[in-house]
């Protein structure tokens, strides 16, 4: 599931959260290269694809564009209906000119700088990615027609853009934001300091990266918007509203309602201020074997894999998928890759998942809390490791957290998730975790998500503090301890060609009370297989001939596969947005003195000069939804329509 | 110098060459920053520790604080004892990774090499025998087509035709089937065909031109005059001298093709061979594995050259051991 911040357009390149953490250091280049393609089950999806095309009206305010101001309402939707067009855009731009200390203006249809020359700015897109390029060209055309700006479209390699333009040398410093002194205490490459601290190369606008909007756990968005000095702020956005107070409110919330209130306010403000110019959410396209029952066009697609089946619901066949890259490791303690995560999941369940309504669904353990601070974990009593490790108990989990995740030597993939959490065993099948500060959405952060690892297996390494031994342990690497804990058992991991599994007859999920009825017989495949096929044409070929039951479809081939009777294409929504990043730092805006991008009305003007509907129809073939604030429409924290 | 001494000298020289290359590799690697040390430092910085201290600890752990000559001796020892370390990008020992890669590569490259070496000169001599006839043009056209069309592109087209449309070969390479089985032969037929057509062109052209020279030579006239059958004349009297200059280029050429074109063909057909192992090690900055495959290719090249030198003397008895 998604725990990543950035995404290079078209859902092609996702950067893992931990990889992204390590990008703090020298490994930046490598992480960008280490992207994963959304293959296999299409694990990330949502239920939002109702084809909304921005017909939600303009907030009931029709007193639109007359006179000085533009009526925006609480939740403005730029780029559709009343808030789209040259008039609105120019009106908003005019407001920005008045706020600016320099004399920008319109000369006829053309926007001119204080010297009287036409405003000329550039926009970068990912080199070699058709959709990215078309998006940039469309933006250039709209800004030219509706605002009289000359936009120059340029291609750039994603890694180069990240290193030279998107990130900078962390320097820190202080600045006055909304009349208050703000200090950059712990600068990062993605927020190296106040607006005066910049990347190596100047740039104006870019559609190279999309970002994660974290619809399940919007609190995570504080990395982008918690004041002027959050963790991740490459564009140098200073909120004009009290973002820090609102995020604090959300953190302190003790009920779902309070939480919702705080977030709705945050997202209304973000819709108004347009820190990044929000454009759209595009879907992942996954092709399936038409005989396969189970895939859904939902954010949680794949959560109920044990109930998937071919034709009639009986155990038959082999569920075969393809992936574009081999797995670095299948050791659950050290894996940070999405693809390998899927490969592990075939043989080993994690603590919980989210069902098609995005609600917590207990797998190995149930989690409950009163106040969001103390969480109780109840471990199921029918869980067995392979011999000689016996039954899974609370002790295994507590030992795993305390002796590995919280140790200073093991550096497990989950170590940052358990910082500052106090864990205590309270019964044979029960343990408690106390958080530093309450968080009602703790499960949604995926932080308390654990793999079951037998204490007996890791104990010798803990005593020796032997990281290498732990990383290279064959039982962990080959998943030989998984007992009844996964739908399948791993038969073979061929490093070059993938993994093969057979059905686990003992799967514990069959004896649980919750979930679909079919769980009682799951999984409904005799075998499963994940093949590494690096060439996209070969992956698609395998899907067509039925050798693979699922594969990602590139957007430009959507139509041909949609018509193909051998393939059923599903549009699976993602939390990644498509945005224009506008550089509000000192090396942004290279069209004259000052930086108009820093002014809210100017960003609003840009947003209202670009038709979201035309962009979606023209470039995305209708396979996307308009994006107004930092949440998709199906999120429960999306501001109301009234 | 006799044959025995010649071979001994060549083998010893091959050993020296491999040692020199290994030494250069060691110097390059020790001059480059070690990614695992940097990683340790980054980890420490992230978790609020002291990066310098962590880097020092990582260096000690990996024996990098030892003097250069000690590390060199260790390195040489582990290279020649096949203790090549752990591949981080595949989570298995480097030798195992290379072994697996070679296992799949050998399955298509052995038939590929054999067919190239057999068919190339045959077609060349055939062309020369029928010079400027339609048969020559057809054979030349075939050779140039294979030489000119990029392997990966040709591969994708054939995969589309035979895999997706006709469904006679599987699209996803199956590693489960036995090496000597019909299924394996079927799934390898297209990759081998692509590679053979790609490499046959050069061999065919060289042998055509070389044999054109010999077919009008004095000894051919003599042979014909004595009533030797055309088959025997070509096989014995033209083919053999033709192969001498050919064998000098053949091994080097095939080795170069090995890495380059086999990578693309392996990617297209999904064969988990040595080309992909090397390429992915490079992309993932897996130093141990990269080093291992460099050494493996070095050894293959050194042994290839050695074989070439030996084959030489067998093919052409006129070549003396003393001059070289």
Walk me through the domains of chain A, giving residue ranges and CATH numbers: 6-46+77-283+575-626 (3.10.105), 351-485 (3.90.76.10)
Size of interface A-B (CB pairs under 8 A): 107
Closest by CA to B214, choosing from B121, B290, B147, is: B121
Say what the pLDDT of residue B268 is: 86
Interface of B with A in 108-147 (CB under 8 A): none
Q: How far is B105 from chain A (nearest CA, A)?
A: 12
Number of residues that this document lists for chain A: 642
Question: Residue A349 — pLDDT band, cuts 50, 70, 90?
Answer: very high
Contacts of A495 in chain B (CB under 8 A): 90-92, 97, 100, 272
Contacts of B90 in chain A (CB under 8 A): 326, 328, 495
Q: Is the pTM of this model over 0.90?
A: no
Say what the pLDDT of residue A104 is: 94
Question: Residue B130 — pLDDT band, cuts 50, 70, 90?
Answer: confident
Residue A192 tokens, joined: 């190296």
Q: How far is B232 from chain A (nearest CA, A)?
A: 47
Mean pLDDT, to the nearest integer, of B239-263? 70
Q: How far is B172 from chain A (nearest CA, A)?
A: 6
Query: CA distances (Å), A307 to each of A27, A319, A487, A509, in order?
Result: 40, 12, 10, 10
Say what the pLDDT of residue B263 is: 80
Min mean pLDDT across A360-374, A495-509, A570-584, B229-243 is at: B229-243
Residue A394: in which H helix or E strand, if any?
A: helix A394-399
Among A408-417, A526-535, B300-309, top mean pLDDT goes to A526-535
Is the complex ipTM higher than 0.90?
no
Find the CB nearest A547 among B38, B170, B276. B170
Interface of B with A in 260-289 (CB under 8 A): 267-270, 272-273, 276-277, 280, 283-285
Among A216-220, A489-493, B29-33, B201-205, top mean pLDDT goes to A489-493
Find the CB nearest A30 among B41, B101, B285. B285
Q: Using DSSP bridges, classify how beta strands A150-156 and A120-126 pair: parallel, antiparallel or unpaired.
A: parallel
Residue B3 CA, distance from chain mean position: 27
- Placement of tokens 């006055």 in the chain: A176
Average pLDDT, chain A: 86
Say what the pLDDT of residue B209 is: 85
Query: CA distances (Å), A604 to each of A78, A583, B29, in order?
Result: 7, 15, 53
Contact predicate B94/B289, CB 8 Å:
yes
Say what the pLDDT of residue A91 is: 93
**Is the four-CA dihedral A401, A403, A404, A406 of positive or negative sign?**
positive
CA dist B204 and B286 (Å) reads 39
- Residue A150's DSSP bridge partners are A120
Which residue in A has a C-alpha nearest to residue B152's C-alpha?
A: A535
Whether pLDDT at A131 is above 90: no
Cross-chain residue pair A548–B172, CB shorter than 8 Å: yes
Three-state secondary structure call for residue B135 = helix
Closest by CA to B239, choosing from B220, B222, B255, B218, is: B220
Mean pLDDT, to the nearest integer, of A388-401? 95
Question: Residue B143 — pLDDT band, cuts 50, 70, 90?
Answer: confident
Higher pLDDT, A64 or A616: A616
Whether pLDDT at A549 is above 70: yes
Find the CB nearest B172 among A24, A322, A468. A322
**Is the four-CA dihedral A595, A599, A603, A605 of positive or negative sign?**
negative
Cross-chain residue pair B86–A542, CB shorter than 8 Å: no
Whether pLDDT at A59 is above 50: no
Question: What percent of chain A has pLDDT above 70?
Answer: 89
Map out the domains of chain B with their CATH numbers.
Answer: 3-89 (no CATH), 94-315 (1.10.3720.10)
CA dist A95 and A118 (Å) reads 18
Whether pLDDT at A352 is above 50: yes
- Placement of tokens 């420490």 in the chain: B44
- Collect all residues with Cβ–Cβ distance below 8 Å to A98 and sequence separation of at least 6: none
Cross-chain residue pair B267–A535, CB shorter than 8 Å: yes
Mean pLDDT, to the nearest integer, of A40-44? 35
Say what the pLDDT of residue B259 is: 60
Say what the pLDDT of residue A55 is: 36
Min mean pLDDT across A410-414, A504-508, B35-39, B198-202 is at: B35-39
Query: For A440-449, how does the pLDDT look when each residue is reduced to its tens digit (9 = 90+)?
Result: 889 998 899 9
Query: For A238-296, how does the pLDDT look when each residue is reduced to its tens digit (9 = 90+)?
Result: 999 999 999 998 888 888 888 888 999 999 999 999 999 999 998 889 999 999 999 99
Say what the pLDDT of residue B39 is: 67
Find the CB nearest B90 among A33, A322, A495. A495
Interface of B with A in 68-87 (CB under 8 A): 86
Other CB atoms within 10 Å distance of the CB of residue B32:
9
User: Burial code of A409-440, b = ≥16 C-beta within 10 A, e = fewer?
Assistant: ebbbbbbebbeebebebeeebbbbbebeebbb
Which residue in B has a C-alpha nearest to residue A471's C-alpha?
A: B91
Residue A168 tokens, joined: 């900078």
Mean pLDDT, to the nearest integer, of B239-253? 73
Find the CB nearest B92 among A322, A411, A495. A495
Other CB atoms within 10 Å distance of the CB of residue A67:
9
Question: Residue A384 — pLDDT band, cuts 50, 70, 90?
Answer: very high
Q: Using DSSP bridges, classify how beta strands A550-552 and A284-288 pair: parallel, antiparallel or unpaired.
A: antiparallel
Mean pLDDT, to the nearest integer, of A212-217? 88
Which residue in B has a C-alpha nearest to residue A330's C-alpha?
A: B91
Cross-chain residue pair B277–A330, CB shorter than 8 Å: no
Find the CB nearest B270 among A25, A471, A538. A538
Cross-chain residue pair A542–B268, CB shorter than 8 Å: no
Say what the pLDDT of residue A18 is: 37
Higher pLDDT, A385 or A313: A385
Between helix B151-158 and helix B239-269 the angle, nearest 10°, is 60
Query: For A141-197, how does the pLDDT look when each residue is reduced to its tens digit (9 = 90+)?
Result: 999 999 999 999 999 988 889 888 998 888 889 999 988 899 998 888 889 999 999
Whether pLDDT at A15 is above 60: no
Whether pLDDT at A401 is above 90: yes
Cross-chain residue pair A494–B49, CB shorter than 8 Å: no
Which residue in B has a C-alpha nearest to residue A541's C-alpha?
A: B164
CA dist B277 and A132 (Å) reads 32
Min mean pLDDT across A173-182, A488-497, B224-233, B255-264 is at: B255-264
Which of A491, A493, A497 to mutate against chain B (most B CBs within 10 Å)?
A497
Mean pLDDT, to the nearest integer, of A20-44? 34
Cross-chain residue pair A496–B92, CB shorter than 8 Å: no
Interface of B with A in 16-45 (CB under 8 A): 38-39, 41-43, 45
Query: For A78-115, how does the pLDDT look when each residue is reduced to its tens digit (9 = 90+)?
Result: 999 999 999 999 999 999 999 999 999 999 999 999 99
């Amino acid at each position: 599931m998604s725990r990543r911040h950035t995404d290079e357009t078209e859902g092609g390149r996702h950067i893992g959260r931990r990889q992204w953490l390590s990008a703090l250091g020298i490994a930046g280049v490598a992480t960008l290269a280490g992207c994963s393609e959304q293959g296999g089950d299409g694990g990330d999806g949502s239920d939002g694809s109702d084809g909304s095309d921005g017909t939600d009206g303009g907030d009931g305010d029709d007193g639109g564009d007359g006179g000085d101001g533009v009526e925006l309402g609480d939740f403005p939707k730029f780029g559709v209906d009343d808030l789209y067009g040259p008039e609105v855009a120019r009106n908003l731009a005019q407001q920005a000119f008045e706020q600016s200390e320099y004399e920008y203006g319109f000369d006829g249809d053309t926007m001119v700088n204080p010297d009287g020359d036409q405003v000329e700015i550039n926009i970068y897109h990912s080199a070699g990615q058709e959709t990215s390029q078309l998006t940039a060209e469309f933006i250039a055309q709209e800004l030219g027609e509706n605002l009289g700006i000359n936009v120059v479209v340029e291609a750039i390699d994603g890694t180069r853009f990240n290193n030279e333009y998107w990130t900078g040398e962390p320097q820190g410093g202080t600045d006055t934001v909304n009349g208050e002194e703000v200090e950059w205490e712990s600068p990062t490459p993605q927020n190296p300091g106040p607006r005066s601290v910049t990347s190596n190369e100047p740039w104006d606008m870019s559609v190279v990266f999309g970002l994660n909007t974290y619809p399940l756990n919007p609190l995570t968005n504080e990395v982008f918007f918690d004041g002027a000095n959050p963790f991740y702020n490459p564009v140098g956005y200073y909120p004009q509203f009290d973002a820090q107070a609102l995020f604090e409110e959300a953190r302190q919330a003790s009920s779902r309602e309070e939480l919702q209130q705080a977030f709705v306010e945050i997202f209304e403000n973000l819709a108004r201020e347009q820190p990044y110019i929000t454009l759209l959410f595009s879907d992942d396209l996954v092709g399936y074997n038409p005989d396969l029952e189970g895939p859904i066009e939902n954010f949680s697609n794949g959560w109920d894999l044990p109930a998937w089946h071919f034709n009639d619901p009986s155990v038959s066949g082999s569920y075969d998928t393809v992936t574009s890259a081999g797995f670095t490791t299948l050791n659950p303690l050290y894996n940070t890759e999405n693809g390998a995560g899927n490969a592990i999941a075939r043989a080993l369940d994690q603590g919980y998942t989210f069902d098609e309504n995005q609600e917590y669904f207990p797998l190995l353990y149930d989690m409950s809390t009163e106040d969001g601070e103390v969480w109780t974990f109840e471990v199921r009593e029918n869980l067995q490791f392979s011999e000689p490790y016996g039954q899974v108990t609370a002790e295994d989990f507590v030992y795993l957290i305390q002796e590995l995740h919280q140790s200073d030597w093991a550096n497990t993939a989950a170590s940052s998730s358990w910082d500052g959490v106090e864990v205590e065993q309270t019964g044979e099948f029960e343990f408690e975790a106390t958080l530093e500060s309450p968080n009602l959405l703790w499960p949604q952060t995926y932080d308390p998500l654990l793999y079951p690892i037998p204490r007996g297996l890791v104990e010798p390494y803990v005593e020796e503090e032997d990281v290498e031994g732990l990383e290279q342990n064959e039982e962990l690497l080959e998943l030989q301890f998984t007992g009844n804990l996964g739908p399948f058992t791993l038969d073979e991991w061929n490093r070059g060609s993938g993994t093969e599994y057979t059905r686990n007859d003992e799967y514990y999920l069959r004896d649980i009370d919750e979930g679909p009825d079919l769980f009682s017989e799951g999984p409904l495949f005799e075998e499963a297989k994940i093949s590494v096929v690096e060439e996209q044409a070969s992956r698609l070929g395998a899907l067509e001939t039925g050798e693979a039951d699922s594969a990602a479809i590139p957007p430009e081939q959507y139509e041909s596969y949609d018509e193909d009777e051998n393939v059923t294409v599903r549009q699976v929504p993602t939390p990644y947005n498509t945005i224009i990043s506008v550089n509000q730092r000192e090396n942004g805006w290279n069209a004259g003195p000052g930086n108009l991008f820093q002014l809210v009305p100017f960003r609003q003007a840009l947003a209202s000069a670009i038709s979201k509907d035309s962009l979606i129809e023209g470039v995305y073939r209708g396979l996307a939804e308009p994006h107004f604030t930092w949440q998709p429409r199906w999120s429960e924290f999306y501001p109301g329509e009234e | 110098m006799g044959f025995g001494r010649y071979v001994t000298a060549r083998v010893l020289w091959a050993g020296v060459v491999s040692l020199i290359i290994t030494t250069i590799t060691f110097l390059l690697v020790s001059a480059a920053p070690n990614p695992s040390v940097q990683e340790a430092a980054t980890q420490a910085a992230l978790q609020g520790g002291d990066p310098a201290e962590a880097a020092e600890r990582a260096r000690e752990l990996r024996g990098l604080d030892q003097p250069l000559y000690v590390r060199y001796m260790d390195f040489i020892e582990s290279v020649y004892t096949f203790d090549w370390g752990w591949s981080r990008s595949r989570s298995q020992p480097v030798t195992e990774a290379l072994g697996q890669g070679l296992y799949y590569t050998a399955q298509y490259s052995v038939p590929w090499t054999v067919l190239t070496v057999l068919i190339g000169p045959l077609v060349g001599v055939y062309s020369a025998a029928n010079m400027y006839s339609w048969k020559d043009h057809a054979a030349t056209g075939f050779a140039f087509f294979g030489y000119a069309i990029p392997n990966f592109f040709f591969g994708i087209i054939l995969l589309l035709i035979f895999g997706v449309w006709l469904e006679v070969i599987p699209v996803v390479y199956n590693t489960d089937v036995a090496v000597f089985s019909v299924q394996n032969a079927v799934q390898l037929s297209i990759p081998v065909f692509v590679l053979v057509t790609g490499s046959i062109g050069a061999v065919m052209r060289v042998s055509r031109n070389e044999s054109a020279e010999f077919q009008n030579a004095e000894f051919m006239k003599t042979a014909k005059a004595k009533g030797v059958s055309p088959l025997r004349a070509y096989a014995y009297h033209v083919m053999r001298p033709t192969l001498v200059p050919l064998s000098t280029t053949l091994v080097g050429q095939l080795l170069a093709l090995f890495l380059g074109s086999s990578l693309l063909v392996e990617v297209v057909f999904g064969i988990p061979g040595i080309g992909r192992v090397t390429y992915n090690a490079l992309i993932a900055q897996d130093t141990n594995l990269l080093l291992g495959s460099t050494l493996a290719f070095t050894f293959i090249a050194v042994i290839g050259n050695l074989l070439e030198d030996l084959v030489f003397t067998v093919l052409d008895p006129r070549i003396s051991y003393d001059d070289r």
